Structure 1
Amino acid sequence: MTRRYEQIDDEKDSAFYIFDVVFLISVNQLEITTGDYINQLGFIDSGDPGINREVANERIQTNVSIATMVEYTRKGISFHVVHTEDTLVIHEYIQHHLERFARKMSGNRRLNKSSFPIDDLLALEQLADKVYGHSKFLETGVDERGFFEKMLESAGLGSFFSGSGEMSEDEIADLPENRERESFADVFKQKQQVIGNNGNR
């Protein structure tokens, strides 16, 4: 798999990877068209209601940042990451950013809402969960068996060729469908409660 994005630089502000790096997505054009745009320019009327519906539901490809993806998720706008392998990078960038904030919070007793945008961090958590649902199947070591071996396994014949066929608990836990991402949501929610108790909501 060819990596199309830079490796994380620990010396760089993690916000760079959230706000400045863009990824190609597919999204419904009408859903991301602002009200101001429609009021000023409107839409072209073809005269054919069927064509108008198709145009309104047309999906476009556009480059957006992770921050923009978070906003789409908050608004309930459905989008698709065009290059599936990008989900690995998106998840990696989000985790890096969340981990940095979690570390800052754990070492800071004087918390305030302006310093730690917890609502935004929890929204990032939500996006990370969705992205990880795809990226975990692309992680190193996943799905490296050949087509014939997979076909035998799906037919229940894998153990005939590979010994007992029994999988250890570790092997079962490492199956893509059983993998869980490291979440920082509890850390952020606890800090959110502390901020609320301090009257900083």
Structure 2
Amino acid sequence: MARLGGAGGAPIPLGFCPDIPALLMTCCGSLNLQDQKNLGDRVLLQIGLRVVQALQEVHLKDVVHCDLKPDNVTLQLGEDGQLESLHIIDYGFARLAGGCHPRRKSQDPKPWYCHCFYNGTPMRKECDVQGLGHILEFLEEAMTLESQDFDELIEKAFNPSHEERPTLQEAEALLSALLAGLKEDNAEPSTVEG
């Protein structure tokens, strides 16, 4: 976290006590993405775009998060429900690019972990694209918006081949285009009157 210096909204370490052990760090809020679904398409797309941009900041510091999922993204929403800030948190599994996790066997592999996480091979920045795909899939399930391009981006994010996964720039461009093309009447969650 010291290396990140707040990049991607990461908490900033303020102090460490090796005896307990304990870490004092800045607070990034307690509202995580996992608990937020009824925000409307516009805010959900903004969240997706901000996650991509935050991840780009993390990768510029040569850090691979390795555990990117909805409950490791915290949000701060204004009183009007608009996104004010977004933070990628929980760097407990993070590695410098090229670093490895110990080989582990799992009977229940998690969809946000790249195969490198389990097989002990060097972690690459592209490994985080699978976690990004998991977050985008979570967001898409909460949206009324339908987009074949968005579906294809998510599907490519889970490709076992790192080279076949979309780049963060491709994800940013698509999310920006979807957000720009979103009609006002599709910006809010649909409600059923009865």
User: TM class by shorter-chain length?
Assistant: under 0.3
Structure ranking higher in helix proportion: 1
TM-score normalized by the length of structure 1? 0.25
TM-score normalized by the length of structure 2? 0.26
